[in-house]
Structure 1
Amino acid sequence: MTLLTSRSGRVAALLAVAVLVASGCAKSEESTAAPTGASTQGGQVVQTPTAPAGAGCTIDAFGAQKFDLKTAVVGFSQSEKEANPFRIAETKSIKDEAAKLGIANLKVTNAQSQFSKQISDVQQLIAQGAQLLVIAPLNSDGWEPVLQQAAAKKIPIITIDRKINATACKDYLTFIGSDFTEQGKRAADQMIKALGGKGKVAILLGAPGNNVTTERTNGFKDQIKAAAPDIEITFEQTGEFAREKGQQVTEQLIQSNPDINGLYAENDEMALGAVTALKGAGKKPGEVRIVSIDGTRGAVQGIADGWLYAVVESNPRFGALAFETAQKFAGGESIPEKVVISDREYDKGNAKDSIAEAY
């Protein structure tokens, strides 16, 4: 898989700058070969930052007991129904890497998009003797009951994809995920290119109550404001990261804003729902330029078919990075509070050749 490097000068400059984390610093690398401290998973380069000496979180600082990952009880809590390709790929990555490493006691739960169930799921994992927890949180807030129970037993928690609003190296170990603000900025760069810097744009917002939606929205708006003041954002409504809801909101959008030029969907499922709505309204491919975030196979096919303009990947392949981080922690290495995974982009220049590589 070839990672794109031909972006705006702003993104090119960012790639040369370290991604700062409060407890250390690391670079978000993009290359066709794995850089130092990185691994390659499913053709995708993922970066594994390490904290500088004296920074980050160690097993002694956290107060956890040493454990052998192969024999430890490891709990993985998935948040959403595995109808979304992102969640399917995410869970598969965790299971596949655990099998590869010989982790014998992996326990997997799925909250089925119910936050109260996810809390009880994780509490049950703690009761079953989990020595490490990997959590894909549904929401960023409301985790106090779990954090208190985990802290009492000094169980390290690695959160993936979404953050928990708590303190690293105290309430949880680290967060592994994409730079969501940067994803929003990259999506804005693609929209600016799609519209030639002028036009009216609608936003299909993700689900409220988590950092992904907030950061993807802020990144997009900030970049549009800074780089393309002649683009006007005239409509915003949540599509809840769901295809059906994305379709419903876009149907409303077509009625209320028939002169819309571009649509920014904060995930591919909403974008594909929007395509269904546009088809139903008799629109032609490319009549409304769509830019989305995720990198699912259906969305990449949508670029090839002319319905989507570009997609910024949100890499779901956390397995190798999560367990590599856990092994380093168990071995006494210092772990930063944020580990950044690399994301590629898809557009008409590479979509047809990349469909099989998308998830």
Structure 2
Amino acid sequence: MLSRRNFLTSAAFAGATVAVGTLDGCSKKSTAAAAGSSGGTSAKTITLGFSQVGSESGWRAANTQSIKDSATAAAITLKFSDAEQKQENQIQAIRDYISQKVDVISFSPVVTTGWDTVLKEAKAAKIPVVLTDRSVDSDPSLFVTLVGSDFEAEGERAAHLLEKVLALPGAPKTVNIAVLEGTTGSAPAIDRAKGFKKIADASHPEWKIVASQTGDFTRDGGKQVMAAFLTAHPEINVLFAHNDDMGLGAITSIEAAGKKPGTDILIVSIDGTHDGFVAMTQGKINAIAECNPLLGPQLMDTIKTVLGGGSVPAWIKTKEGDFMAADAAAALPNRKY
């Protein structure tokens, strides 16, 4: 069983990613390319079955729109379903796509475990699976590739951003951190926590995590959990939020408690949404490690390559940046999500 964190070490899998040439589904370009060897084949539109994890945040909304827009631009027929953050809904959607004999299946998994059975069903039906955004703890031969971010690196980047924030004038010397975790069992929650802790443990014995709990990646979850944190731990002076929406929800509770976000409680989050950047321009969030949701173009290109019999890397990573509050005003006009 390999997780997102270590599945790239499987050399056998890397070699196996090209074994998709026998599938029927292909784009017009790939069909034309194959026509010479097949004696002429009529063009066939690719049908993609995509199961989205949910609509829990601004990041997710942008991710969904990117996939829909990119499918249209690529002339790929998209069958789309929203799992509403329930694994059983995603598994059913994948099974529906298998029965409909789509050309390729893609999904952003709710959690990392529990996928082996349905992925084996897709493999038996000779339908390739391309993961997006999040990976799974499954046999890597059951999916072709992952198109998405390095969540552990994002956690490390968030910790390094906190280092910069704490180096600014007026920053506290005693660091009492609250952590708003993502959905329990999800790849970003697991890996962002691991990456942040890695840097904290290695370099910052003075950092103390006094409270850590899931806010389910939602603004309301961040608001409610932060309110409880402040009641139980009034000494909190730093917040690490696994995404902007939870951080934005926490700001409401911080202000309701009579404290000033970004000053009394320093805030570092992950995502880089438009609303997150607005909060940075207001001085309410101190730094953000970007997680790019605009995966649609990369996903469609990957699908066409796979169905055309081409080779793709085991992990296709997205390009992302880091932003301090001082960068926010200049960067805000260019935010696309």
- Tell me if both proteins adopt one fold, taking TM over 0.5 as the criterion: yes
- Counterpart code for 1:174: T
Query: Could you report, residue by residue, the CA deviation over 1:194-218 in whole angstroms, capped at 9, with x for unpaired residues?
Result: 2237411111111111221111001
1:93 has 2:66 as partner: yes
Instruction: Decide which of 278, 289, 292 is 1:312's aligned counterpart.
Output: 289
Q: Which runs of 5+ in 1 are unaligned?
A: 1-18, 25-50
1:140 aligns with one of 104, 112, 115: 112
| 1:283 paired to 2:259 | yes
State how 1:234-313 maps to structure 2 within 5 Å. 234-285=210-261, 286-313=263-290
Offset of 1:20 from its aligned partner? 9.7
Q: In the alignment, which residue of structure 1 is the partner of 2:179? A: 203
Match of residue 56 from structure 1 = 15
Q: CA 1:56–1:85 in structure 2 vs 1: closer, same or farther (change >3 Å)? A: farther
Q: After superposition, what is the alpha-carbon deviation per residue over 1:24-62, rounded to whole angstroms, capped at 9, x for unaligned?
A: 7xxxxxxxxxxxxxxxxxxxxxxxxxx9xx953344x35
8 Å Cα contact 2:146/2:314 also seen in 1 = yes
- 2:8 aligns with one of 1, 4, 21: 21
Q: Percent identity?
A: 35
- SS state of the match for residue 184, structure 1? helix
RMSD: 2.1
Match of 2:328 in 1: 351
**Aligned-partner Cα distance in 1 for 2:333–2:87:** 33
Q: Output the CA distance in 2 between the equivalents of 1:208 and 1:287.
A: 28
Which protein shows a greater Rg? 2
1:57 and 1:337 in contact (8 A); partners too: no
Q: Which consecutive aligned stretches of 4+ in structure 1 deviate over 6 angstroms post-superposition?
A: none
- Tell me if the contact between 2:51 and 2:93 (Cα under 8 Å) persists in the aligned partners: yes
1:292 and 1:107, CA in 2 relative to 1: closer, same or farther beyond 3 A? Answer: same
Shift in Å, 1:23 = 5.0
On the 8 A contact 2:239/2:267 being kept in 1, the answer is yes
TM-score w.r.t. the length of structure 2 is 0.86
Residue number in structure 2 paired with 1:156: 128
Distance in 2 between residues matched to 1:231 and 1:69, nearest whole Å: 52
Q: In structure 1, what is the Cα distance between the partners aligned to 2:125 and 2:68?
A: 25
Give the whole-Å Cα distance in 2 for the aligned partners of 1:205 and 1:55: 32
Q: What secondary structure is seen at the aligned counterpart in 2 of 1:349? A: helix
Which residue does 1:165 correspond to in 2? 137
Q: CA deviation at 1:83?
A: 4.9
Q: Would the alpha carbon gap of residues 141 and 55 (structure 1) be closer, same or farther in structure 2, given more than 3 Å must change?
A: closer
Q: Which runs of 5+ in 2 are unaligned?
A: 1-5, 29-44, 168-172
How many equivalent residue pairs?
Answer: 309
Pairing partner for 1:72 from 23, 46, 50: 46
| 1:103-122 pair list within 5 angstroms | 103=76, 105-122=77-94
Measured after TM superposition, the shift of residue 240 of structure 1 is: 1.4
Cα distance change on mapping 1:55 and 1:287 into 2, 3 Å: same
Q: Structure 1 residue 66: deviation in Å?
A: 4.7
Q: Please identify which structure carries the higher helix content.
A: 2
**AA at the equivalent of 1:282:** G
CA distance in 1, matches of 2:288, 2:178: 16
How many angstroms does 1:244 deviate by?
1.1
Tell me the equivalent position of 1:13.
none
Query: Could you tell me whether the CA contact under 8 Å between 2:17 and 2:145 is conserved in 1?
Result: no
Q: Letter of the aligned partner of 1:147 in structure 2?
A: L
Query: What is the CA–CA distance in structure 2 between the aligned matches of 1:254 and 1:75, rounded to whole Å?
Result: 43
Q: Distance in 1 between matches of 2:129 and 2:219?
A: 31
